[in-house]
Structure 1
Amino acid sequence: MLDFAGDLMTRGREVAVARSHGVDENMVRAHRHDYFEIYFLEAGTRYHGTDQELYRIEQSELIIFPPGVEHFSYGDAGVPFRRVVVYFRPEAVLYAHVLEAVAGQVCVVRPGGESLRAVENVVEELLTAQDVLGDGAQDEMRLLVTQLLVKLMRAERRDARLARRAGRIADVIYHLHDHYAEPIDLTTLAERFFSSPFYLSREFKKHTGSTIIGYVNGLRIGRAERLLQETARPVSRISAEVGFANVSHFNRVFRARTGMSPSQFRGREKARERA
């Protein structure tokens, strides 16, 4: 799924918003950004994970991620969903006490009744302002995102965390996030979680929309992207650090997932920093 709002943020916006819908479209590769994210689920059920917790989000609920928190999301196979994401930088919030209320940790909010209608109205105003005014909408969108946060502060916060051992697939996901840089053998993995390779593969694909190897490669490439951006380490060293047995395989997987070589990706990111 294309991240239209994220693209706007890379272009210098302080607030950006986007609505999308789909089936089996999952962000299984953990990612992070230097701005807040409000994920408003308008229809369906989604799972959001960090390195510490897994959250189940239902229709009309919102989850808020502070800057720098690595997270991923997926849904049950074949289940349609519709969501709106609102991205905003800390400086876009007009009142310090409002920013402090959401700055601490991931939280799930479940507005109801009039509170839900008020949240929906502000979200629609954000979408309309961006669509009609474009770059000229930022002042209005700063005001609107502050209003949205105030309304969320008044709504019910829900503990949507799933137990770390709530299910085999959640357990496997956390294991892969902890050990993606190590060799992953399907038979050994299945034995660890008291399953057969066939059953584990089938259930993993059902829950995440991805194969186990595809998921692991996504984690590895996500980490490689960060190392390419944030360090000057050689590509060969990064390849080994994220779990690839040889740099040729790393290059093939990286290009397949990003459309460019690791060196091209690093060059593009440096050019963006200079722009």
Structure 2
Amino acid sequence: MQTGEIEAIDYGEQEGDFYIQQVMRTTPYEKTSHFHGNYEIYYLLSGRRNYFIKDTAYTIAAGDLLFINKHDVHKTSVLGSSQHERIVVNFSDSFLGSGHPLFRPELLHVFRRNNHLYRLKPREQWFVEDSFRNMISEIERKEDGFELSIRLILAQLLQFASRLKDGCAAVTDDPLSPTHRKIADVVKHINACYQEKLPLSELSKTFDMSPAYLSRTFKKVTGFTLVSYHNLIRIREAQKLLQETDKKVAEISERVGFEQFAHFNRTFKKTAGMNPLRYRKIFVK
């Protein structure tokens, strides 16, 4: 636990089958840019935050609920006061998969919608918070069948979310501003062309922005530098290839756009916390 943090619950592992954490922070905290192979549900109990998900920047407040699909790049950062409290739930396909008696594929559709944010009404907030409280209660008591109970509560929460309409949420303070639209276009361009070099000078010409303004605005809107975001997308694709193919690491490095293998290795280790060979050994089953 870091200084300025009060944890109410921290159960499971973020990359495991199920994870839930409730924490209050009173000091500045910025989550490093990351992605993972599990689904994520994020609920803000108090305070305000900036959140960048995939290619959209959000301003979130207490009572806001977010759904983040697996492998979507995301980052949270300070907005105003650093004090905030939030609940995060991560779960894998196997935790709520086809073997679950109440599973229906449409339960996961909420993670694939273009909009990630839902601004809940008081009655909806009560239902969501009560769902989390029930999960935490099951974990604390650990009675027989508590994991099944968590699955049932999660399925009910996702069923509730599947009925939420995209129009019920305000995305940002000014979601349709020209600046936000242009930065979203830059993000989409990087996502599509991550194998290319994409120098700042080329991007600034493509999107008709000065290099300095593009660099500064991209960081302000997304929380990433252009270089760090570009590398993150490349490493995400490399991880998929390591898991889903038997291609050699050097071939994967070249395929995702790295000209120097040593640079790929350094960047991969910095992002994933381990080298590519170890990653393949751990995550390929």
Find the residue that maps to 1:146 and give its secondary structure: helix
Structure 1 segment 47-196 matched on structure 2, within 5 A:
47-50=51-54, 54=56, 56=58, 58-59=60-61, 60-65=63-68, 70-75=71-76, 78-79=79-80, 80=82, 82-88=85-91, 89-91=95-97, 95=102, 100=106, 102-103=108-109, 105-106=112-113, 108-133=117-142, 137-152=146-161, 157=166, 158=168, 166-196=180-210
> Hey, what does 1:238 align to over in structure 2?
252
Residues in 2 aligned to 1:45 and 1:204: alpha-carbon distance in whole angstroms: 17
Q: Deviations over 1:88-141 (max 9, x none)?
A: 4434865457x6355364264333122312221221221333345399630221
**Structure 1 residues 244-253 or 167-176, which shifts more?**
167-176
> Hey, what does 1:199 align to over in structure 2?
213
Q: CA RMSD in A?
A: 3.5
Aligned partner letter, 1:198 = A
Corresponding pairs, count: 259
Residues in 2 aligned to 1:202 and 1:134: alpha-carbon distance in whole angstroms: 52
Report how far residue 184 of structure 1 moved: 1.7
Find the residue that maps to 1:71 and give its secondary structure: coil
> Hey, what does 2:278 align to over in structure 1?
264
Q: Is the 8 A contact 1:49 1:72 kept in 2?
A: yes
Q: Deviations over 1:196-222 (max 9, x none)?
A: 222222222223332211111111111
TM-score normalized by the length of structure 2:
0.74
1:19 counterpart (22, 30, 33)? 22
TM-score normalized by the length of structure 1:
0.76
Residues in 1 aligned to 2:52 and 2:12: alpha-carbon distance in whole angstroms: 18
> Hey, what does 1:224 align to over in structure 2?
238
Aligned partner letter, 1:56 = Y
Find the residue that maps to 1:103 and give its secondary structure: helix
Report how far residue 228 of structure 1 moved: 0.9
> Hey, what does 2:7 align to over in structure 1?
none
Aligned partner letter, 1:130 = I
Report how far residue 46 of structure 1 moved: 4.0
**Structure 1 residues 256-265 or 78-87, which shifts more?**
78-87
Runs of 4+ with >6 A deviation: none
Higher helix share: 1
Report how far residue 186 of structure 1 moved: 1.0
Residues in 1 aligned to 2:274 and 2:50: alpha-carbon distance in whole angstroms: 30
Structure 1: state its 5+ residue gaps.
none
Report how far residue 259 of structure 1 moved: 3.1
Q: 1:48 to 1:204 in 2, by over 3 A?
A: closer
